[in-house]
A and B are shown apart, each in its own frame.
Chain A
């Protein structure tokens, strides 16, 4: 257990990179205090001063000066309001509540006095402000608590000086400073004086056992706005004189605009203009988050949404095959020229292509021992292939963005996960300096990875620039679904070699996809099997893909966890006992070096799951249950899924979940998140699929893209967290992937058949007929 506080609290050097007292002091000034006009104190601080964050920023290749100086703030006003700025956009992961809770905890203020405000974007002040990778709480755990603790210490010092007593004799509780003499004051009364004091070099952080806000459930700070219908989302953004814009994009992946006639459409009421535009200029080098499906599109701009929708129907556009397209990318692999193939894809062919590639030699990703010999000598080989389709994110709020581009400056506003990555592209396409581009982040109606890709932001900016007016670009649901940045299509073949005594002596995974390989080579069961081989391959495609809640893991957990279930069955072992045996091996005597996971935490989750689900208990003997557990990002999660047949259909009735994400900051919201991940996982595994015919997506709205609904959700989802004092390790994604595996395994128990192809609902119908 590294990187964690000792039982009795720690001394944390402010701005120190070290969590838990390995105190290298930061090169950067971390905290700065100033007086507020009208009294009170303003404590500004950098967000990116924890070791984790610094590493992360390094990985993202952001220059150090962008990591932040003077970023977020705590304001304490004389009338005792504690205003905490949240730097990261909210998309349902609860950051606007959980991050301020961390500040308030160490500040020791009354949660009732806390007001939370969303920051605007500022690459310099706040760093990338990226929401994703289950990273927000993890990244800010130390800096936010340090800041809260520093402010508290300054308030104590201010009181000590005012009262002429020693600071060590002053205690704080719920925003009140007290001295044994009976003197007491509210924070607000001391804030103006505190603002004049030096920022402490070192602060003492609380031990988790002393928390009174963190680990104690707090309600969503924007809950009232949500239930009263206040403007919150990008869709709700409005300024005077704003026009509405929509885009007509090619109908198929692999097509492009040939020509169009807008004469009739332009005559429709309310229409201001219709024109085609190019997203990126020729020679533009695309960054990793500049993914765009089509480069030339038609914009329809008018006064109101309905008028634009109607005019759009009158548009007469011709499209043609785009052919192979060369694009210069500057992504993870450095700058490279890639050819996007022009073929118009059909799902049946995609499947055939994947089957064909699966037979070809692939790139070796990891090898331990001598897998070839193990498989040659095996008494039994189990081999299974798993497939999963493209998935559309289908955030409840379709893509949209506001832009007002003027000669010398621009304002863009709306829902997005990665403002820091969009700014450099806006600089290029608008030809404006970064400090003339303001990015505002609204609450997001879901993200799931989709809003890390900024093409809709640039589209809005382009349209506003052309119109010389403020515009809001709105995608219809059809646009959102058929013009997406999807979860890739994946396949993987797993093989297990058993010896004559049914010991697992070899393990082989070979995975691939369109256009991305899903394999995480260094994850379990790597490290637990002597002879291990992982391989991957990829098929380039014009179907645009990107991160989707727990990228790659959301497929791997389905495939690997179903496969392990089948191997356990072949070995005559209980599925949980089998996993625990492997993990014990990985813990005590790991194979190979680069194992990504901590076997102890993995074991802890499985044991908690076993206990809480009553796994193997006689009272549960009649239940049809499936189990799966998975590690991704930095946390561990597992589920036991209980399934029943109703009217000849399998339904998930109840789920027991166990999660180790370290300290849980906001337990009730965390439970909500896990329950949501379970519902999402059941829905995606049963129904989710985006298929193609000649490049045209075959699903376009919720009538033919099935989403899980209330009657299909489980009746009960019990969520249990491993209780420990490990610094938070993230929660948004990790509970999602293992749902797929647990559902597949429960389906086997319920129907007696193994399901290898998602969506399971389609497979179930196929097997029936």
Chain B
């Protein structure tokens, strides 16, 4: 009988971790569906970025209140989960508060710290909830934030509150049980926050206290396992993906767009007076690659990882001049739609073993040309993003496809480009007039 709960615990733990690993494997496989891009350079600079931006959350300080609350929730959440180690050992071996003895007086200090953090997490989460649901900050109520995106954000707040409450209630009941002299409940003294909950439970019998205490203990660990598995469906994936995402972020100046290498080869050939225009390029029988992107498989893996990392915070959309002036473009939505399409493509790969055309694509079915053409490439979005996501690179790759593969630029842009081709300026002026300004006034 005694072993039943240990066995049950191990089963729950193994299933939880197994499912989590499986989901993560799927996410990583999906990211790897992207084209290759080399970000293996400059590892010291990259580690610095991870420490500063992901761990240090340097970008979050721009909005001081949100930044402070976020760091509390984040740090609180991570630190309190050190408790998890004790829970797992207790669960597997049927011990109770196994660290109490070896840690001695350090133990109550730690639990006190955890409790205070848990309390601060709850306070922060409540403020977050109010900002989202009562104050209705505009960035949380843009069109792309309807339905799942909106519920997801609240779900996380609820899960966090429940987990933290379970931890506090568990400690409170533990103390009440100590007072009743219940078996296994070693004296720990009262803790900073749970001491205020204990009196509320004072009338309860030993058996109902034990049920409550065990219930909260189980809730805590099952809740964590549930949360880990929830990440797969959630914007909360950023608690993991923020690290690789910042590591592999773009280090070059924001204004620099990549030069398409396939085009470079072609242009060099064209400009080389010695090149034979009819020569068949050696050794490459394959179709020349598609220029730009029409679907997620044409994007590179960093762009796909960006999509999974997006926290849907809307800092980008909030400062996007196109969005601010009422245009359809929302950089957050570009990332959300990329993730949605990638999920869809991932499901096809799950079923068929590889991607098969489903008659849909990221371009048009998810992201419309109207959104793409509204971007001024101003970099407000990339500057604002707390996890260094680059929506412009996706916008640009889709534009490239529209122009290079479909010749589908807006008419005025075609005129501008024709002018550049014909007379080396976006307007119709002759190169011989370039110095006219010298003598005008």
A and B are interacting partners: no
Give residues in A with beta carbon < 8 Å to B: none
Give residues in B with beta carbon < 8 Å to A: none
